[in-house]
Structure 1
Amino acid sequence: MTQLANLGLYGLGTMGSALALNILDNGFALHVANRSADVTAEFVAEAGDLAAKLTSHASLADMARNMPAPRAIILMVPAGNPVESSIEELCDLLEPGDTIIDAGNTDFHDTRRRTALVEGRGLTFIGMGVSGGEEGARHGPSIMVGGTPQAWAGIRPVIEAIAAKFNGEACADHLGPDGAGHFVKTVHNGIEYADMQMISELYGIMRYGQGMSPAEIGARFESWDTGALQSYLVEITGKVLQAVDSKTGAPAVDVILDRAGQKGTGRWTLIEALRLGQSASAIEAAVAARSWSSEKQTRIDGEAILSGTRTAVDLSEQDYADALLAARIIAYAQGFRLLAAASEEYNWSLDFARISEIWRAGCIIRSALLDDISAAFRGEMPKGQLVFAPAFAERLKATVPALRRVVAAAVLNGHPVPACASALSFIDTLSMARGTTDLIQAQRDFFGMHGFERIDGGAGHHGPWWD
């Protein structure tokens, strides 16, 4: 029988403190430390009654030396050098049977490399994706674990206890070896980028194309937070748009600079999609839109120089709702296609139905669609494509016309919709039996003698321009 590991947590920032309190709340003892001892002392003081199960240490080394074996130490420090140096330090202090858990946002390639390094030293390594922000970390996140089954067994009771629950089932699981957990979390974040961008695009058309106030648009999103569109992001969009700034009395959204930040997971999703030869066009458009948003002065100059104008559109509420549903389905489909490609490339044997199930609560992209996605992966899935599953094919047939109307109206009237347009182009391409890349192949052969396949068989042919 696998012995439950004794838990330690290093890094008491916002997420680390929240996760630590969650662990204590669920009745588990915990050792903690932080780079700054003052932060550790503040955390212990603020833990209140939960401090009875808490043991604080002056440093990571002090914690590792004084914890009883077997030890499992969760790292909640920034990605990059802080993680790297913490792992190096622990490798010199821990013993066989002990586990290091990286629970931050980490490039899965780093996780694969670190797994080999740590396990080469006789220890165990887990890369653990945690989604849900501070609120999720405190009260129940979605947790995606990568590592050996043995390592999972040693921490499973704790992870399942602290995870979000959906109909009583923990939204946490062991998904595969080495970087599997962190890669699934990366793709989760890529889908999150696309969903947020598509929502903001529809907000932009309603606001600047139909003259609706933020509060009116927020009420519309609030009404959508039922049925097929029910989701965390739709829910908070309704609340954000109806909020009022206490200082000015203006809509809260109007006092926020239109320059979006990003921490890298969206870019990681794109890099891997390109490397694996996959299309993640909606995610790519969302990442690009955030990059463009950072060039605020350029956009101010562009509006003046290029005479940027946005004119009125005429779209129904149902058009917007159906367009968002279609675009969201396509973004999920692109994410799962990428997961499938990576699973094959790295021999992870990912369970896509289970992934969709652990995303149903706690995480940022939780939505009503995930139950249907899980059912599709467990049922009839023609050609392995989510958009070909009967339930989703029928939904797309019903909603893509609205997506087409929204994108067309936006383009004709000067409203940028890069993610929605990319989603539409993806589904249009996927539903065209004969496309236009025959011309590209002809061009490649013309200028580079690359050859092409003929429809009547055989590769390596050349066109008559070489006769």
Structure 2
Amino acid sequence: MKLGMVGLGKMGGNMAARLRDKGHEVVGYDFDPRVSDVGSLAELVGRLEAPRTVWLMVPAGEPTDGAVEELGGLLDAGDLIIEGGNSHYVKDREHADALKDQGVRYVDAGVSGGVWGRENGYGIMVGGAPEDVERAKPIFDALTPDEGGGYVHAGGVGAGHFVKMVHNGIEYGMMQAFAEGFELMQASDIVDDVPGTFDSWREGTVVRSWLLDLLVRALEEDPELEALRGYAQDSGEGRWTVQAAVDHAVPAPAITAALYARFASRQEDSPAMKVIAALRNQFGGHAVATATDDPVRTPRS
């Protein structure tokens, strides 16, 4: 197929390269002229033959909204937009409805695989009408792993980003569990080889996974993770997953706790923990650290 790719960053650039490796013709557009094939969205649309297919890989929110709106004014009836960023699923329905009168088709595609996707393939989670999804299937086949799998047509418009949102919420919980296990073993006086323990879990255990492989890789580079700050940003999907759980009255304590742990990581001196320390001192006479004390790792009780 011949398609346009809008957004040639870490994900979009590697996806375009993999598609080209698989024989597809990709016309890329990016604000960075060093990587862009064209100078504008209008030029990109002009380089494609009808019915056109344009894949968006730009940040969720205003960048995506603006790109969809601009493309809506450039594309013709029968053309297809695939929105591959991490947009909120409600936005997908709004975009599809806004394009409907013009006859422009819309598919949302959650993409997982990070910077390793060009080599290993991506997980693609798609939402849209069956005929639109089938039309784009050669693209999805090229992006997913060579050995098969990694693809689902999850439902109508919005379903692709909904399941990608849930996927990322699960990822939050898995990462948090590995992180807590690391800290527990490191804090003990029992385990001498924490990196080796994680490495041993990569084969034959029920927790083996690609995330575990990546953690072992990180520990090989820096066994104590001393070069890193204990700060973790959240990209939005974790919050949306928790909100969706509330909306549907589904208990999601692990994902919610993992999200809150990321919030806690951004506090150099947690006000909440100050309250905990004060209360422990009041009811139990427990020693408290003052603002002038040096932070020292103490044995866990």
Does the TM-score normalized on the shorter chain lie above 0.5? yes
Is structure 2 residue 156 aligned with structure 1 residue 177? yes
Which of the residues 182, 193, 198 maps onto 2:172?
A: 193
**2:280 is matched with which residue?**
none
Q: Distance in 2 between matches of 1:136 and 1:147?
A: 23
Which of the residues 241, 245, 249 maps onto 1:269?
A: 241
5 Å-filtered alignment, 1:62-461, equals 62-137=43-118, 139-165=120-146, 168-210=147-189, 212=191, 216-227=193-204, 228-244=206-222, 251=223, 253-298=225-270, 302=274, 304-305=289-290, 310-311=298-299, 413=301
Amino acid of the structure 2 residue aligned with 1:130: V
The Cα shift of 1:239 comes to: 2.2
Q: Distance in 2 between matches of 1:34 and 1:237?
A: 32
Q: Name the SS of the counterpart of 1:100 in structure 2.
A: strand
The Cα shift of 1:211 comes to: 5.8
Task: Say whether the 8 Å CA contact 2:122–2:145 is kept in structure 1.
Answer: yes
CA RMSD of aligned residues (A): 2.2
The Cα shift of 1:226 comes to: 1.7
Q: Name the SS of the counterpart of 2:4 in structure 1.
A: strand
Task: Say whether the 8 Å CA contact 1:75–1:100 is kept in structure 2.
Answer: yes
The Cα shift of 1:97 comes to: 1.2
Q: Kindly tell me: are residues 150 and 76 of structure 1, through their superposed partners in 2, closer, same or farther at Cα, counting changes over 3 Å?
A: same
Work out which of the two has the higher radius of gyration on C-alpha atoms and give 1 or 2. 1
Q: Distance in 2 between matches of 1:139 and 1:25?
A: 13
Percent identity, please.
34
The Cα shift of 1:33 comes to: 1.2
Task: Say whether the 8 Å CA contact 1:144–1:173 is kept in structure 2.
Answer: yes
Task: Say whether the 8 Å CA contact 1:218–1:239 is kept in structure 2.
Answer: no
Q: Distance in 1 between matches of 2:90 and 2:261?
A: 26
**1:26 is matched with which residue?**
22
Q: Deviations over 1:178-205 (max 9, x none)?
A: 1000000000000000000011111111
Amino acid of the structure 2 residue aligned with 1:93: L
**1:321 is matched with which residue?**
none
The Cα shift of 1:261 comes to: 1.3
Task: Say whether the 8 Å CA contact 1:6–1:69 is kept in structure 2.
Answer: no
Task: Say whether the 8 Å CA contact 1:129–1:182 is kept in structure 2.
Answer: yes
Q: Distance in 2 between matches of 1:252 and 1:65?
A: 53
Task: Say whether the 8 Å CA contact 1:141–1:162 is kept in structure 2.
Answer: yes
Amino acid of the structure 2 residue aligned with 1:269: T
The Cα shift of 1:277 comes to: 0.5
Q: Deviations over 1:327-373 (max 9, x none)?
A: xxxxxxxxxxxxxxxxxxxxxxxxxxxxxxxxxxxxxxxxxxxxxxx
Task: Say whether the 8 Å CA contact 2:109–2:160 is kept in structure 1.
Answer: yes
Q: Name the SS of the counterpart of 2:269 in structure 1.
A: helix
Q: Deviations over 1:244-276 (max 9, x none)?
A: 3xxxxxx46112111111111101100110011
Question: How high is the TM-score relative to the length of structure 1?
Answer: 0.58
**2:10 is matched with which residue?**
14
Q: Name the SS of the counterpart of 1:262 in structure 2.
A: coil
**1:364 is matched with which residue?**
none
Structure 1 gaps, min length 5: 41-55, 245-250, 313-412, 414-467
**1:375 is matched with which residue?**
none
Q: Deviations over 1:81-117 (max 9, x none)?
A: 1111111111111111110111011111111211211
The Cα shift of 1:234 comes to: 1.4
The Cα shift of 1:309 comes to: 6.6
The Cα shift of 1:169 comes to: 2.0
Q: Which consecutive aligned stretches of 4+ in structure 1 deviate over 6 angstroms post-superposition?
A: 306-309
The Cα shift of 1:230 comes to: 1.6
Amino acid of the structure 1 residue aligned with 2:289: A
**Larger % of helix: which?**
1
Count of aligned positions:
284
The Cα shift of 1:118 comes to: 1.7
Task: Say whether the 8 Å CA contact 2:18–2:142 is kept in structure 1.
Answer: no
Task: Say whether the 8 Å CA contact 1:79–1:105 is kept in structure 2.
Answer: yes
Task: Say whether the 8 Å CA contact 1:161–1:170 is kept in structure 2.
Answer: no
Q: Kindly tell me: are residues 148 and 137 of structure 1, through their superposed partners in 2, closer, same or farther at Cα, counting changes over 3 Å?
A: farther
Q: Distance in 1 between matches of 2:99 and 2:297?
A: 56
Question: How high is the TM-score relative to the length of structure 2?
Answer: 0.88
Amino acid of the structure 1 residue aligned with 2:157: D
Task: Say whether the 8 Å CA contact 1:220–1:238 is kept in structure 2.
Answer: no
